[in-house]
Every structure is written in C-alpha cells, then in structure tokens.
A and B are shown apart, each in its own frame.
Chain A
Amino acid sequence: MMLPLKENDRPIVKKLLEAGCCARCVLRFCFLEVQSAYRQPYEDTAKELLAFINDEETNVTKDSAVQDQLTKDPPSKKIKLDTAKTDVQAEGDSALVPTVTEEGGARLVKSDVCVVCLGVLQEFCDEAYATKISEVVKAENYQFDTMVLSVSLPAQLSVREHSCWLHVKKEVRKKSMLLDKDDVIKVKDAFKWIMQGLVSKELGGVSVVTKINRQTEQFEVGVGFTHPETDSDCHFLAGACSDCFSPTKNKANVFTRMAVAKAIGKVSDEKFLKKFPCPPTRPASKCVAQDVQCLHVSVFVAGRYNKFSRTLPQTPWVIDGERRMESSVEELIAAPLLSSFRAKGFNFSSSGREDVDVRTLGNGRPFALELLNPHRARFNKAEIRQLQETINQSSDKIRVRDLQIVSRDAMGHMKEGEEDKTKSYSALIWTQKAIDKDDITFLEETKELKLAQKTPLRVLHRRPLTVRERVIHTMSTRFLDAHHFHLVLRTQAGTYIKEFVHGDFGRTKPNLCDLLKTDTDILELDVESVDVDWPPPVPE
C-alpha cells in the first residue's frame, strides 16, 4: 500500500530511523491511524519508508545507517524475500551495541531491536506469535463467545517513548502546532490492530475485541513482555519525582507502569533530558514474551445449605498447619462445582455461619460460591439441577437447595441479610436446680428482650472487645424433665445464643441463668431458620 505520508513527515521519519526506531514505531510517531498500514508485513512498511526517504529530490540520502535500519529483517526472523524485490538486501553494519556478557565482560553486539518498542512491534506481531497464543488458548479449552486480548508492556517503554517524543517534538510542531504526545499512536493499540485479527483467524474466526466493559467480555487472554536489560531505565525517576513512588514496597515493585507514567507527566523536559538519553540507547536484546495467561471472569453460584452433622465445620479447620476435622461444608459444596465448571479455585461466603456442633435445619442458610477462572461457564437449568443432586448425593451431612447461577452484585444481597434479618434457633437446655413445667412458661410471654453481650470469651482472641446490644424477639418452651427443656428463640441477627444461655461469666446480661435463677447450660443447638429471602427459590 501507499503510506499516506507527507512532506513534513520526512524529517520525523529520518530522525527516528537514524535513532533506531523500527518501521512501525515510525508510523506511530507520524500519527498514522490507518490500521492496515500496521497489518501489512513489516518488510513492506520498511521498504516504503526507505523509498519515502530516498524520494526527496534535494536530498538523496545514502545514509547507510538509515538504510540498514529499514532493510535488515527483524532479528532471528527467517523471511525468504523474493530476490527480485530485494535489491536493497543489506549486509552492512547494523548498529553495534555495547552489552555486558554473562561472564561480566563487555562487548559489542549487532542489534536492530527498536529503541522504543524493544521489539514488541517487530518480533511479536506476526502469524507465528498469533499461532503461539492461539495454541495456548486451544489447549486450555475454555468455553467463551468473545475474547479480549490484553497486553502488558514493561514500564520503561513509556520512558523511551517520551524520549523519542522529545527527540522529534520540534519537527512535529513544525508539522502541526496542534499535535501533542497524546496523539502519538500507542504501542498497545498498534499491537492490537495487528494481533486481534491474526489471533481471531488462528482460532477459526472467534471474535477478538478490545475490552469496553466487564459485563459483555468474559474471557481474557493476556500476553506480557519483559525486558530486564532496560529495567533500570526507570530508576532515575525515583530521584526526579520521588512523590510518585511508594517507598514502602520493595524495590522491584516500586516502578509500576502507573507510577512511571505519572512521573513522566510531572517531570519537566529539561530535567528529563538531563537524566535520560535522547534518543534512547539501543538495546542489545529484544523483549522476552511471558507465558500467555488465560482468565475467565468468575462465575457465582448461590443456594441455601442445611448442615445435619454436629462434627462438620463450615470452613476447613486447620490449626498449626494440621487439619483438625475432616472436610467442611464449603468443600462438600464446592467439589462437584469445581469439577463441572472446571474452575481452579473458589471463595465461599454465607449469610452468617454456625459453629461446628450446631446443625442448620429448615430452609437452610444462604451461601454464594465464587468459582475462579472457570473453563466452562454456561449451564442450563437442568444441568444446575443435576449438579445440586450430585452435591446432595455426595454426603448425608449437608443438603443444598435453590442452586443457581447469580451475578456478582447478588453477593451484596446476601451480606445484607447478615446484619438486619432475624434467625430462629432451638436449644436443649440443662438446669442445675430441678424445675417443673410452670417454672418456664413465663419465657413464652417474654418479648423483645434486650441483651447486652460483651464479646464472648470463646471468640475474644480474634474479635475486638465490645458490647453488642441484641434483641430476642420471642421464645417458646417445651418441658422435658426436671433438669431439661427445649427452648425455641427468634432473635436479631448476630445474637450469641450459647452465651445468652450460660451467661459467659455474667458478661451477657440478662441471661437465662438470671431469668431462671439457676445455673443453666446449653447441650445442643440448632439453627431453625435464617430469615433472608435470597436467593430466590428454584421450583423443584
């Protein structure tokens, strides 16, 4: 194609080529938005630029450095150019770049790695790399509709970009006073213009898009590049603009892309030019591509669970690295889901929780399970019903109902329930003094009993010491024998039932001991209902 370059682009092109920019970066600094210009083979762009320079009537350049920069193939590439076209096949010197060997000595090395993109737009923008990316995606076998390709570049690219900008700023302003650094095409954009199409083709036409919002794009493939050789390019910014960098983190993480970009924005041109070469130095090596990472957004599965065992914790019980109790509610629910959704991990949360020795009866307790990086995310109602059945068959200690896929916001509903909804319990009470039926009937008349509960001693090691005001709305009783009766209570969320019964050294007031005027203790406790009307019931 004919690159739409103008007369006033020529000085920019020439300066950047001499400095060691690759052909595609030159296009970027010419503010070229024509995506096809970037998509065409690198050599074609290179040749066109060369021709553009040589076209100058008054100044036929035989500048060998410029010729070399354009005609040399990107490093390690094995392109068989048609010999008829390649009358400018260059042998000559590519730039000699000093580099330090592994042994510690210095030597000169031939390099034509772009001084700005460090090879990203040279080496990694072709079908070969697109194939590599798509091979990883195919191997991981995800289920998805659209794919987002995201690219992460080393922070020093913005330093080098700024240096190149300063190098041609005058020439750009001559071209147009309105153009600014922000108008330069970003490396990421150029990369995506080239690679989205190539990757899509390799994956059989799958839609590869730029991320606009989280809702529609669910699957992301991340490519990343590092360039250890030039990591220190950023370091001078710490001195020039110290308030941009957080001192608390360790050195390696201080120079984040955000922090570096911010610092560059703050530093004056003079200060920058004092501390960093303009144009940037030539690197000896190109970027290293990191492993391709695939990530699918989390899927949220909600439901309600019953717990029928008095020896099953809700979450794994581990002390000093040793597991104290076999299994847990969350593991029993998660296991079949992890395998069907082919997810790597999960986060379990619920609307409150019960102790190991407490059963959860009635409609059960609402929970939500976040499945991390699921390889499969779409299930119809019948399949979900089947999953629920699988969980229920796997153990008689728990039961799950109303299993359904929900959105991330749904999690908020569940946590709401924790604070302001009521719960009801039934407890088996022991009394020290002998009682008869009439001694406990008054409890049925006791309504809206206000308690002041200091943080129970059994949880005081991990909770702040405070006093909680809680209300027991209603109670009912069933006499069993002289030292036992059943107590059913409906209480405000967050009430400690065990402490209400035994008093916790008098730190819950009033307590059942006070009310019955005898020592009492709780032998068994069950949750009868968690009065949260979420998630919506799923008809069987």
Chain B
Amino acid sequence: LALTLSSCSFTSNRRTQTRVYIKGKNCEDQCVLQHSNRICVITLAESHPILQNGNTIKSINYQISAGCSRLQNKVSGKSKRGGQFLTELAPLCRITCTEGVEYTIYSCIRGRLLEVNEGILERPELLLEKPSTEGYIAVILPKLEESKTVTNGLLSREEYENILSKRTSSTQQGPKTEPEPC
C-alpha cells in the first residue's frame, strides 16, 4: 500500500502543524510544535545535551522557584482560566543528569500554560527515548490575537540544520579555529 504518512499525530486529521526551533546557549536547543488550532507543544530539540552521549536523568523538577511549581498549574473551563501566563524566558522545569549538570528548559513562547508532562516524572526515560512525542515538556495556549506571531523569529527546520552543520564543521576543523558559539 503506497500511502504517505508522517508519524506525527497532528497530520492524521488533515490539519497542518509547523515545527520551529530555538537555538539555546551551549547547544541547549528546544523545539515548538504548533497545531493549526494554535496550541503549542514544547519539547527538547534533538541536539540538546540531555539527549546526547547516553546520559541518564537523575531528576526532573517542576518547582522552578520557592513560590512557583508548574505542577500546581490548574486550568478550568473552555477559556482555560487559571493557567500560569508565560513569557519566552519563563522556566518550565529543571532537569539534572547523572553527571550533575542541571539544565533549565524554557517556555520559548508567550502563552498560557495548559499542562506539563507528568509522565516524565514517573518515567524519565520517556524524555530520552521519545523527546518529540511522549517525552514532551509542556503544552501552551498562545493568546488568540498572537496565535500567528508567536513563532515569529524562531528557526525553521532548514535554518536549524544550517546551524547544526556550522557547529559540527567548526569542531571538525580542529583546535585552531574557535568553535562556533552555540
């Protein structure tokens, strides 16, 4: 059966989705997947350090400050009242790998936090095995009037791949050249 298909669930009901990338410092890149109904899913990008080199995850913490835990986020009703409003640099969670490095995962977009993935608290390996689907970090609902602009300035797949290739080529050139800053 010659059927074309993407394994991304969003396409199976004929709606379109767009995937954009955010370049982070030290290669801590993230990804935003936006559905045509404007809902966004925040995930790690494949180049993120957490996903490299056979890391294991020591802990995932949604308590981002003394007074704020993303786990306490509760939305109600169709208009999702009560969800914490996030800006681009708002932290979603902090992830510590076994060598002790702690990474902060950011919202990357403006919008109302609908849910964080509690599945990865129970099974952190999900984050490593399926970072783009079951290992997602959070679901965010942008404001209606910002739904088209919320991904402005973020990188397309092509732009992201360009950056990735610049990074590897600079490391391949050897110690003489300054590595491309992440």
Taking Cβ atoms with an 8 Å cutoff, the residues of A that contact B are 355-357, 430, 432, 454, 457-465, 480-481, 483-484, 498-499, 501-506, 519, 521-523
Q: Pick from A355, A463, A506: contact of B13, CB below 8 A.
A: A355
| Cα distance, A356 to B117, chains bound together (Å) | 30
Distance (whole angstroms) from the CB of B181 to the closest CB of chain A = 33
B15 — which chain A residues lie within 8 A by C-beta?
458
Cβ contact within 8 Å between A465 and B115 = yes
Cβ contact within 8 Å between A357 and B13 = yes
7 A-B pairs (CB sep. < 8 Å): A460-B141, A464-B76, A464-B80, A498-B12, A504-B9, A506-B119, A519-B7
B66 at the interface (CB under 8 A from A): no
Cβ contact within 8 Å between A521 and B35 = no
| Cα distance, A522 to B3, chains bound together (Å) | 11
Distance (whole angstroms) from the CB of A200 to the closest CB of chain B = 51
Cβ contact within 8 Å between B119 and A460 = no
B68-82 vs A, Cβ < 8 Å mask (1 yes, 0 no): 000000011110100
B37 at the interface (CB under 8 A from A): yes
B residues 85-143 in Cβ contact with A at 8 Å = 114-115, 117, 119, 126, 130, 133-134, 136, 139, 141
Cβ contact within 8 Å between A464 and B78 = yes
B119 — which chain A residues lie within 8 A by C-beta?
506
- A523-B5 contact in complex given A356-B14, A461-B37, A464-B77, C-beta closer than 8 Å: yes
* Tally of contacts, chain A with chain B, CB under 8 A: 81
Cβ contact within 8 Å between B10 and A458 = yes
A498 — which chain B residues lie within 8 A by C-beta?
9, 12-13
| Cα distance, A343 to B93, chains bound together (Å) | 58
| Cα distance, A357 to B14, chains bound together (Å) | 8
| Cα distance, A388 to B38, chains bound together (Å) | 40
Q: Pick from A462, A505, A523: contact of B9, CB below 8 A.
A: A505
Cβ contact within 8 Å between A505 and B12 = no
Cβ contact within 8 Å between A521 and B7 = yes
B32 at the interface (CB under 8 A from A): no
Q: Pick from A454, A462, A483, A505: contact of B136, CB below 8 A.
A: A505
Cβ contact within 8 Å between A460 and B12 = no
Distance (whole angstroms) from the CB of A487 to the closest CB of chain B = 14
B39 — which chain A residues lie within 8 A by C-beta?
457, 460-461
Distance (whole angstroms) from the CB of B133 to the closest CB of chain A = 5
Q: Pick from A465, A481, A484, A506: contact of B134, CB below 8 A.
A: A506
Chain B: which residue is nearest A501 at the CB level?
Answer: B12
| Cα distance, A498 to B15, chains bound together (Å) | 13
| Cα distance, A480 to B3, chains bound together (Å) | 13
Chain B: which residue is nearest A310 at the CB level?
Answer: B14
| Cα distance, A505 to B117, chains bound together (Å) | 10
Cβ contact within 8 Å between A460 and B1 = no
Distance (whole angstroms) from the CB of A452 to the closest CB of chain B = 12
B31 at the interface (CB under 8 A from A): no
B41 at the interface (CB under 8 A from A): yes
A503 — which chain B residues lie within 8 A by C-beta?
9, 133-134
Among A463, A465, A481, A498, chain B packs the most CB atoms within 10 A around the CB of A465
Distance (whole angstroms) from the CB of A521 to the closest CB of chain B = 6
Cβ contact within 8 Å between B75 and A465 = yes
A463 — which chain B residues lie within 8 A by C-beta?
78
- A505-B41 contact in complex given A457-B139, A498-B12, C-beta closer than 8 Å: yes
A355 — which chain B residues lie within 8 A by C-beta?
13
- A505-B133 contact in complex given A460-B39, A465-B75, A465-B80, C-beta closer than 8 Å: yes
| Cα distance, A464 to B74, chains bound together (Å) | 11
B residues 1-46 in Cβ contact with A at 8 Å = 1, 3, 5-7, 9-10, 12-15, 35, 37-39, 41
Chain A: which residue is nearest B75 at the CB level?
Answer: A465
By Cβ-Cβ distance, the 7 closest A-B pairs, closest first, are A506-B134, A502-B9, A461-B37, A519-B7, A357-B14, A522-B12, A505-B136
| Cα distance, A379 to B120, chains bound together (Å) | 62
Q: Pick from A357, A460, A499: contact of B114, CB below 8 A.
A: A460
| Cα distance, A280 to B128, chains bound together (Å) | 84
Chain B: which residue is nearest A483 at the CB level?
Answer: B1
Distance (whole angstroms) from the CB of B145 to the closest CB of chain A = 13
Cβ contact within 8 Å between A484 and B1 = yes
Chain B: which residue is nearest A461 at the CB level?
Answer: B37
| Cα distance, A183 to B37, chains bound together (Å) | 62
Cβ contact within 8 Å between B133 and A506 = yes
- A462-B13 contact in complex given A432-B7, A505-B136, A519-B7, C-beta closer than 8 Å: no
- A481-B1 contact in complex given A505-B133, A521-B9, A523-B12, C-beta closer than 8 Å: yes
| Cα distance, A464 to B133, chains bound together (Å) | 22
B77 — which chain A residues lie within 8 A by C-beta?
464
B78 — which chain A residues lie within 8 A by C-beta?
462-464
Distance (whole angstroms) from the CB of B50 to the closest CB of chain A = 18
A483 — which chain B residues lie within 8 A by C-beta?
1
B130 — which chain A residues lie within 8 A by C-beta?
506
| Cα distance, A504 to B6, chains bound together (Å) | 14
Chain B: which residue is nearest A432 at the CB level?
Answer: B7
Cβ contact within 8 Å between A430 and B76 = no
| Cα distance, A455 to B41, chains bound together (Å) | 14
Query: Apart from A457-B41, A458-B13, A464-B77, what 15 extra A-B contacts exist at CB < 8 Å?
Result: A355-B13, A430-B3, A457-B10, A461-B38, A462-B37, A465-B75, A465-B114, A483-B1, A484-B1, A499-B9, A502-B9, A503-B134, A505-B133, A521-B5, A522-B12
